[in-house]
């Protein structure tokens, strides 16, 4: 990692292991990241004290001395651009250069739940670079595991957008860096676990199509009404293309989920899938806003719960795991949960403390739905689940829950009380404290801070809770005062008797109400099952209807395309028909030309006969001259004989010359004519082939090559017309071979006659 270090290391470790520890655990903390704050100094839940209290808690517990303490490292732009756009990286880098807060506020107003100040850029670069640095050291083997205590958080940040307190997606940058920039480390598969109460929408989108990264996110969803809102966090969002099946969402439909619910999600979804995936390293988006008392989460995970979840993950990837701080806004609860996790990294025993409850009824239905959706990708999820989801024979170890939580023990009530939310009762049932914050006047009006925005699903057991609340009011306001009035003036023994009688009546009344409450809870559970089944059917019907609508639209588009193609074919058919007629006319001209050629052939034969007759006549005359020359020489004088010989030889030479000129001219004209016929024949054959191809033009339509074939035909016809216009011809001649054979038969073998004159 070539990132620039800030040089501000904190803690006692100073980059070396001060104590004896079997595991090398890296801790990243840098005070510079506290410079990122609200511009006007108002108190926000995502405040610098978040990382300060964690670091102080670790120091007081003495774990920093047993760890390798690392300072912050600034990320490099080229590594940030692996998951973010160039425009977004430049924007975050330029924040600190704005001299006025008003300009930064204007930029922040463009995003959802974002504030900026002069230290935001440096803190964002340190947060991303520090996670990359510790992940690289763990992958190299220099560290066994690590915890990056960084801010601002990152899992909401998308490729081109900051949101939900997040500027850069720290975990996504680290994962992409290991996969794409450091192939030499041998990291080919990465598991990203996100237990922040809010869905990590940014991380999901960045690896949506990447099968090298398995993303598991457990978060509140509330039917899309919990931040960051929308359908991205639904369990049906499983990835796309090569990454299909590698995105797993476990969306709680209500608040109040605790250790048992998270353990069930781990044991019945995450752990089986992780065994199949077998990652090389695990990156954990460690948000602690699902912890008890968090003002945004509304859930009740204990430090013990976080330690158990982390311990289960340590069984994979040879324990190579990196935690990166995300959310968490109750400072005390977040600090205790962080300490519990670091103790697990150091191989300490988890804190023995738990609520002892079993999962909510809605958790059971949700886990079954998630397994059903994912079993096509992960065979280990195909088995049917038992309704219990946990082993009631071996309940989770129970300690004093109040010692683990940031609340006074006076907030807890007895073990026989009824927990709202239709939670399945198990042994050692303990009531959890109220999840509402004592005061929210200090919280800034970010949409991120709203537990619900559109609608809030009521707890399935709210009716029974309301009945006991009303009963409590009646007891306090009416029953107790009446008891006091009746007890006034009574003797001690009478008071005892009255108390026993009243206690018996109260026991009978409470037994009746408890029975009524159990029946009501059973009915609510049955109604909930029926409602979930009905909702599932409605979702399936809606999906089928959407699929049918899409198919109908596709059919209509195909019909329109076929109609357009039919029109195009009809036009081309008419054009080919016209060309066919033109070709027929030209073939008729060819026939006429053949007749003309037959006449020319007869004329050639006549000329040849005349030539033969002339040659024969010349030979006969020459013979006669040879025979008559001695006799003529005796009868005539020498002068007359010489004159006659000269006349005959002159006549013979003139005849020979005339014959040679005629045949030479005839031969050249014939060769030129035959050459033109060959060229025209080739184009005629090409035109005839194209005409024949029209018969199968509808087969071309299914192959998608119709337009190319018609274009080729048009080009050939254009060349043919250009040739005709160039040579002034209006006909096409086939069968040129016939005329070539005639030439070879009658002209080629012949020789010009020779006349021999004897002196």
State pLDDT tens for residues 475-511: 555 556 666 666 666 777 777 777 766 766 676 666 6
pLDDT of residue 2: 45
Report d(CA 374, CA 733) in Å as an integer: 73
Residue 466, class by beta-carbon neighbours within 10 Å (0-12 exposed, 13-18 middle, 19+ buried)?
exposed
Cβ within 8 Å of residue 756, ≥6 positions away = 622
pLDDT of residue 514: 63
User: Residues of the chain whose pLDDT is less than 70?
Assistant: 1-22, 41, 98-101, 349-357, 386-489, 500-501, 503-505, 507-512, 514-519, 521-522, 629-645, 647-648, 679-759
What 746-753 contacts at long range (C-beta under 8 Å, 24+ apart), as own/partner pairs, is 746/604, 746/605, 746/608, 747/604, 747/663, 747/666, 747/667, 747/670, 750/608, 752/656, 752/659, 752/660, 752/663, 753/611, 753/614, 753/615, 753/618, 753/619, 753/656, 753/659
pLDDT of residue 484: 64
| Rg, Å, the chain Cα set | 50
Report d(CA 549, CA 543) in Å as an integer: 10
pLDDT of residue 196: 96
Cβ within 8 Å of residue 524, ≥6 positions away = 422, 460, 461, 463
Per-residue pLDDT tens over the stretch 382-430 = 887 765 555 433 333 333 333 333 333 333 333 333 333 344 333 333 3
| Planar angle of CA 39, 41, 46, nearest 5 degrees | 85
pLDDT of residue 322: 97
Report d(CA 468, CA 226) in Å as an integer: 29
Report d(CA 20, CA 164) in Å as an integer: 40
pLDDT of residue 587: 85
Residues with active-site annotation: 156
pTM of the model: 0.56
pLDDT of residue 644: 60
Report d(CA 569, CA 548) in Å as an integer: 31
Q: How far apart are the first and last CA of the chain?
A: 116
In sign, the C-alpha dihedral spanning 594, 600, 606, 607 is negative
């Amino acid at each position: 990692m070539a990132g620039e270090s800030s040089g501000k290391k904190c803690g006692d470790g100073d980059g070396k292991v001060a104590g004896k520890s079997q595991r090398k655990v890296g801790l990243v903390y840098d005070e510079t990241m506290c410079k990122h704050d609200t511009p006007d100094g108002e108190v926000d839940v995502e405040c610098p004290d978040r990382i300060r209290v964690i670091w102080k808690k670790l120091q007081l517990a003495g774990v920093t001395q047993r760890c390798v303490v690392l300072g912050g490292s600034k990320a490099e732009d080229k590594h940030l651009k692996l998951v973010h756009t160039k425009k977004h990286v430049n924007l975050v880098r330029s924040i600190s250069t704005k001299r006025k807060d008003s300009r930064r506020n204007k930029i922040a107003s463009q995003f959802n739940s974002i504030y900026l100040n002069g230290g935001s850029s440096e803190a964002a670069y340190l947060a991303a670079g520090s996670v990359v640095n510790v992940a690289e050291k763990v992958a190299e083997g220099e560290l066994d595991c690590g915890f990056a205590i960084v801010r601002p958080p990152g899992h909401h940040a998308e490729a081109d957008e900051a949101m939900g307190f997040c500027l850069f997606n720290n975990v996504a940058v680290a994962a992409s860096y290991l996969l794409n920039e450091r192939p030499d480390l041998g990291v080919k598969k990465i598991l990203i676990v996100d237990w922040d109460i809010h869905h990590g929408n940014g991380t999901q989108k960045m690896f949506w199509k990447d099968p090298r990264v398995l993303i598991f996110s457990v978060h509140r969803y509330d039917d899309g009404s919990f931040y960051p809102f929308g359908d991205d966090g639904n369990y049906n969002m499983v990835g796309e293309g090569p990454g299909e099946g590698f995105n797993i969402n476990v969306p709680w439909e209500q608040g109040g989920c605790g250790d048992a619910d998270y353990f069930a999600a781990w044991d019945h979804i995450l752990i089986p899938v992780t065994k199949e995936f077998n990652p090389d390293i695990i990156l954990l988006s460690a948000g602690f806003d699902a912890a008890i008392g968090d003002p945004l989460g509304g859930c009740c995970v204990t430090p013990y719960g976080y330690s158990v979840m982390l311990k289960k993950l340590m069984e994979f990837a040879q324990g190579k795991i990196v935690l990166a701080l995300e959310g968490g806004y109750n400072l005390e609860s977040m600090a205790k949960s962080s300490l519990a996790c670091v103790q697990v990294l150091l191989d300490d025993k988890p804190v023995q403390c738990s609520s002892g409850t079993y999962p909510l009824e809605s958790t059971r239905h949700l886990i079954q739905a998630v397994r059903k959706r994912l079993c096509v990708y992960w065979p280990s999820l195909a088995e049917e689940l038992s309704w219990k989801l946990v082993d009631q024979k071996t309940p989770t170890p129970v300690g004093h829950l109040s010692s683990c939580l940031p609340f006074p023990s006076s907030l807890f009530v007895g073990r026989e009380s009824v927990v709202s939310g239709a939670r399945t009762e198990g042994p050692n049932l303990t009531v959890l404290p109220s999840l509402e914050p004592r005061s929210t006047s200090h919280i800034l009006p970010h949409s991120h801070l709203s537990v619900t925005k559109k609608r809030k699903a009521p707890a399935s057991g709210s009716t029974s809770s309301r009945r006991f609340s009303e009963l409590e009011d009646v007891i306090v306001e009416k029953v107790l005062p009446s008891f006091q009035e009746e007890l006034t003036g009574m003797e001690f023994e009478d008071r005892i008797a009255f108390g026993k009688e009243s206690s018996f009546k109260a026991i009978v009344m409470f037994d009746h109400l408890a029975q009524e409450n159990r029946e009501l809870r059973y009915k609510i559970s049955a109604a909930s099952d029926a409602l979930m089944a009905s909702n599932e059917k409605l979702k399936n019907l809606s999906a089928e209807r959407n699929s049918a609508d899409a198919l109908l639209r596709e059919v209509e588009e195909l019909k329109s395309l076929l109609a357009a193609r039919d029109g195009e074919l009809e036009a081309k058919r008419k054009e080919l028909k016209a060309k066919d007629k033109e070709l027929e006319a030209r073939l008729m001209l060819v026939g006429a030309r053949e007749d003309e050629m037959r006449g020319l052939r007869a004329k050639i034969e006549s000329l040849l006969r005349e030539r033969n007759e002339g040659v024969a006549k010349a030979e006969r005359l020459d013979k006669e001259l040879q025979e008559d020359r001695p006799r003529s020489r005796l009868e005539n004088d020498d002068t007359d004989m010489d004159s006659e010989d000269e006349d005959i030889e002159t006549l013979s030479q003139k005849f020979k010359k005339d014959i040679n000129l005629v045949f030479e001219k005839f031969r050249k004209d014939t060769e030129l004519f035959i050459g033109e016929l060959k060229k025209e024949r080739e184009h005629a054959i090409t035109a005839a082939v194209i005409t024949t191809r029209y018969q199968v033009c509808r087969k071309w339509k299914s192959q998608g090559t119709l337009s190319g074939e018609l274009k080729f035909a048009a080009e050939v016809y254009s060349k043919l017309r250009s040739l005709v216009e160039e040579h002034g011809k209006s006909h096409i001649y086939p069968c040129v071979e016939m005329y070539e054979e005639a030439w070879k038969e009658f002209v080629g073998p012949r020789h010009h006659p020779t006349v021999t004159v004897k002196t």
